Amino acid sequence: MPELQGKVALITGAARGQGRAHAERLAAEGASIIALDLCGPLPASVKYRSATTDDLDETVRLVEKLGGRVLPVVADVRDFDGMKSSVDVAVEELGGLDIVIANAGIAVVSEWDRITPKAFRDTVDTNLIGAWNTVMVGAPHLQKRSGGSIVLVSSAAGVRVQPFMVDYVASKYAVTGMAKAFAAELAKDNIRVNSIHPTGVNTDMATNPSVQEIFAAAIERNPRPASLFTNMLAVDLLEPSDITDTVLHLVSERARFVTGHAMTVDAGITLH
């Protein structure tokens, strides 16, 4: 019997990368998927390409190829009202909600004195407010099911500082604390809330040449913090499926007593 048979999962940022990997794996384990993504322009400060409706369609195709049921939703995690109305409709169609994965996020790479106030705000709005909106939209549906699991995707940068992305670090540290705060209050409803903390993952966010050029220039001007990017295990980037393995564990019955935990999937980058 698949581990998640009969469950329904909401996944944000599902058009590609980690979100797509989560959708595929959870569907393979029997879950129906609400695949939500912006599918539109990202803030100008983001140097990698935006996900498109074609990307979301590909996620749908891959989930359906596995025999899973999936409802695509185009919505902005920064827009609480718009997101809520869209998710509520999808949840009603699928008959409930059991799992929430707040995966949508952006990264703006910039030295501390070069980032603009708008870019800083854009990152916080997407990574922190977007995660809060996702919980606030999803948790009431989990309450109706008398329980469920929520996973907030933070980062290794939400456990141990990483340089040249002060906006990202600030947002991800906040997500780490927010997960624990939600875990404390939602435990009475048998809702578990955990955060996960990947090192660099092989997605557009990490591999885009423009992003790498900004890092290289910043390190050339200020090389000392570069050591903070070193994984202890001999791997430069993880694959999205590596993160999905941890997500599946946290939303499954195997982790039924795990809540308020900040779980690293980081090849040892946060060791100190």
pTM of the model: 0.97
- Residues catalogued as catalytic: 168
Using only C-alpha atoms, the chain has a radius of gyration, in whole angstroms, of 18
pLDDT value for 82: 98
Please give the pLDDT value at position 70: 98
In Å, what is the CA distance from 3 to each residue of 8, 61, 76, 196, 250? 12, 22, 30, 20, 12
Please count the structural domains in the chain.
1
Examine residue 160 and state whether it is found in any structural domain, yes or no: yes
CATH of the domain at 91: 3.40.50.720
pLDDT 10s digits, 203-259:
999 999 999 999 999 999 999 999 999 999 999 999 999 999 999 999 999 999 999
Residue 220 in domain: yes
CA distance 97 to 234: 39
pLDDT the model gives residue 270: 96
CA–CA separation, 149 vs 74, rounded Å?
23
Sequence-ordered list of residues with C-beta below 8 angstroms from that of 133, at least 6 positions apart, any chain? 77, 78, 79, 80, 83
- 37 in a structural domain: yes
Phi, psi of 35 (to 5 degrees): -100, 105
Per-residue pLDDT at 183 exceeds 90 = yes
pLDDT tens for 75-123 read 999 999 999 999 999 999 999 999 999 999 999 999 999 999 999 999 9
3-state secondary structure 107-123: CCCECCCCCCHHHHHHH
The per-residue pLDDT for range 35-76, each reduced to its tens digit, is 999 999 999 999 999 999 999 999 999 999 999 999 999 999
Q: Are strands 32-37 and 70-74 parallel, antiparallel or unpaired?
A: parallel
Kindly give the pairing relationship between strand 148-153 and strand 70-74. Answer: unpaired
pLDDT in tens, 119-155: 999 999 999 999 999 999 999 999 999 999 999 999 9
2 inside domain: no
Residue type (1 letter), 172: K
What residues make up the domain containing 176? Answer: 8-265
| pLDDT category of residue 1 using cuts at 50, 70 and 90 | confident
For residue 201, tell me if it sits in a domain: yes
User: Is 135 within a domain?
Assistant: yes
Q: Above 80 in pLDDT, residue 272?
A: no
Three-class SS state of 151: strand
Q: Is residue 32 part of a domain?
A: yes
- In whole angstroms, what separates CA 67 from the centre of its chain? 24
Report if residue 255 sits inside a domain.
yes
